[in-house]
Amino acid sequence: MDETCTFSFVSLPGKFNQTSFSANTYLVFLTRPKESVIPILNKWVGEEKLINYECLQTIIKSPRAGRRYERALQIYEWIKNSKHFDILAGDVAVQLDLISKAHGLKAAETYFNSIPDDLRTYQVYAALLNCYADAKVLNKAEDTMQKLKELGYAGTVAYNVMLTLYSKMGDVEKLHSLVLEMEDKGIAADVITYNIVLTAYASVPDVTEMEKLLMKMEADPLLIDWSPYTVAAKGFLKAGDIEKAYETLKKCEHLFKGNRARLAIDVLVTLYTSMGKKDDVYRIWNKFKRKVKHHNSSYHCMISGLEKLDDLDGAEQIFAEWEAKWLHFSFGIPILLVTAYCKKGHMEKAISIIEKLVESGKHPNGSTWNRLAHGYCVRNDMEKAVEMMRKAILASEPGWKPHFHSLASCVKYLQSKGDTQREQELKDLLRVRDLFPKEVEKGLDKYIEIGNQMSRGT
């Protein structure tokens, strides 16, 4: 929120006061999401204190950004009932967007039908177009786009909305027709337009159109950065042309700059991994690690990539680097290595990582112990697999599910040992945590029975 403004009925902002309405209302948005701001507004006016409309709009932006759509609508409700301000077409457009996000498309349509004709400007139709596009209601989006054309306000932004919709619907033919229409009508394409269209062509993939578009973008320095090249590379990979994908990626490495450089490195590491280019994965990592501060996501990409490239020694070295310098702990990074060790049957190494985490005060979740259970199943060390499965269930959180094959292997092992007591304990733990509904139990029994039949050759 802009701390240079205070609320008043005058048009120019005055000096900010920490006890002003703005500070109080902003606090309600941030700390008391279920509390209505309407009583605060009424109290402020009742005390004959002043409110500035521009600052009301500033506060509305905060809940919109934080997806507190209902809170922003409360302020608009108060504005409508206060009779101190005139509602403008821009406000109507914002309300339409908020209603759609908070209450759904039908509520937004109902609101739109209530809007007086003099307020149904291009801004309102543009907001309605966004509502239909977000909901993927193609026919109504196209009708609204036609209305914008009739009003003479179908510009680049509106075309981008429709291009995005066609791309999401997988209708590349309509998308291509719309691109030609823009060219025919002289509607300027911007960087967003090009990226939408390039992504759509890459998804098919239409290599010819993708290459033509990339050449157009390369001709304008304002349109090109590293991301179109990575999109095109994905398209070439989908088309099975690894060499073209590789050549395309090489073109963009000198374009990394600003806050998005870290994201670019993550994308390139992932793409070079998918091509099997291990040397390039290391080259990118080492080239930019002194220039760009690696975050958890970068370490995650690198360790995951090296594991896929069957370079476990390299993954261990990157993990050691992360351990030495992490600022913000992420369970996901050590778990990557634990998973890799379990796949290879290196259970002692996996357990060593878990023990270090526990010693440092971290608490492994159900998924962590589940991975260990799976690893021991792979190694056929079923006693330890049962132990890890039990820990997984005890550490489980709502929504978690055990690895079905590992669970079945543990139950089957206990049955083969005649250990009905521990089998029942395991199933009871699952039931207590609502992880073992009857259909799952029946499926487990059937799965084990099929396995037994296959082992008997029947």
pLDDT (tens digit, 9 = 90+) per residue, 286-345?
988 777 777 889 999 999 999 999 999 999 999 999 988 876 888 899 999 999 999 998
Q: Is the pLDDT of residue 21 over 50?
A: no
**155-255 with 366-458: one CATH topology?**
yes
Query: Percent of the chain scored above 90 by pLDDT?
Result: 60
Helices (H), 345-403: 347-359, 366-378, 382-394
pTM value surpassing 0.85: no
For the chain, the structural domain boundaries read 155-255, 366-458
Contacts of 322 by beta carbon, 8 Å cutoff, 6+ apart: 296, 299, 303, 333
Taking a C-beta distance cutoff of 8 angstroms, is the pair 403, 374 a contact?
yes
- Token pair 């002043």 in the structure block, residue: 50
Q: Which two tokens stand for residue 323?
A: 């351990």
pLDDT 10s digits, 206-238: 999 999 999 999 998 888 889 999 999 999 999
* pLDDT (mean) for 236-261: 91
Q: Give pLDDT, residue 262.
A: 86
User: 216 Cβ partners below 8 Å, 6+ apart?
Assistant: 194, 223
Give 221: exposed, middle or buried? Use CB within 10 Å, 0-12, 13-18, 19+. exposed
How far is the C-alpha of 372 from the C-alpha of 339, rounded, in Å? 8
Alpha carbon distance 427, 424 (integer Å): 5
Please tell us whether the domain made up of 366-458 is placed in CATH 1.25.40. yes
Secondary structure (3-state) at 360: coil
Specify the range with the lowest mean pLDDT, choosing from 265-274, 288-297, 346-355. 288-297
β strands within 201-350, DSSP E: none
Residues 6+ apart with CB under 8 A from 324: none
Is residue 419 a contact partner of residue 383, using CB atoms and an 8 Å limit?
no
Instruction: Quote the tokens at residue 115.
Output: 């809007």
Q: Cα(454)–Cα(414) distance, rounded to whole angstroms? A: 19
Which residues have C-beta within 8 Å of that of residue 203, sequence separation ≥ 6? 167, 170, 172, 235, 238
The fold of 155-255 is 1.25.40
- At 43 the pLDDT is 61
Phi-psi region of 246 (alpha: psi -120 to 50; beta: other; left: phi over 0): alpha
Cα separation of 298 and 294, whole Å? 6
62 pLDDT higher than 70: no
